[in-house]
Amino acid sequence: PMRMKNGGIFWRRDQAVRKIITESIWQRPVYFAVTVPSEIWDPYRKHLEMQGMVRRLVDYRGDHLMDEYAMIRGFRDFFKYRGVLTGEGKVDNSIYKTEDTRSMFVNYSVAAFQIAQIKASEGNYEDAIEWGELSLKFNETFEWTRKYLGLYYNRSGQTGKAIEFYKGLIEENPYVGAYYAGLITVYEESGQPLAALEVVDRGISNVPDERDLYVYGFQISTGLG
């Protein structure tokens, strides 16, 4: 390892990565698998484009670069899901998996949810739901999908399903403020402010440190006069 002028350490792994990049750059593609710790690829963050289960080094800069086409193609044309999902798209429990193995599936969840976010930003909530549900099949506890999938249901006209989705999460774990926030938003968006206010009160009683719940309560109460 080498000591840098700013006091940091240029570890041997960092030197190896730098050598790979400088000797390969633009002659053959350079990828970082999603399982690589962030401290290794972070120095190149502005030049890394998410392409599914890999980040590819590219010759342009940006924040949170994503190649939607490559990500979708990977899921639909290349990934086989053997031992993960059945041919019918159901969770495959026929093969034993250790907890470590199952925890690795969160990488699939992240990639699928990123596509869901893209679709939602385009107002395409039907596709956002499809990718969000796929995300939870890979890892049913992935929090970002849990926070937002109910909103996608509501914005696609499935208000009842959205309400049941968040109620189910709250019943499973009544101490996560984001679940109450999701349900409050659904009630607000569907024109049910009194129901939203009841959820605010219940959420604050269970998660008193969740600041957003007080904000919701103030805004809704003001709107009700």
Average pLDDT over residues 107-116: 92
pLDDT at 52: 82
d(CA 52, CA 184): 32
User: How many residues in the chain?
Assistant: 225
51/184: higher pLDDT: 184
pLDDT at 67: 93
Average pLDDT over residues 153-169: 98
- State pLDDT tens for residues 124-143: 999 999 999 999 999 999 99
Contact (Cβ atoms closer than 8 angstroms) between residue 204 and residue 214: yes
User: Model pTM?
Assistant: 0.85
Contact (Cβ atoms closer than 8 angstroms) between residue 202 and residue 179: no
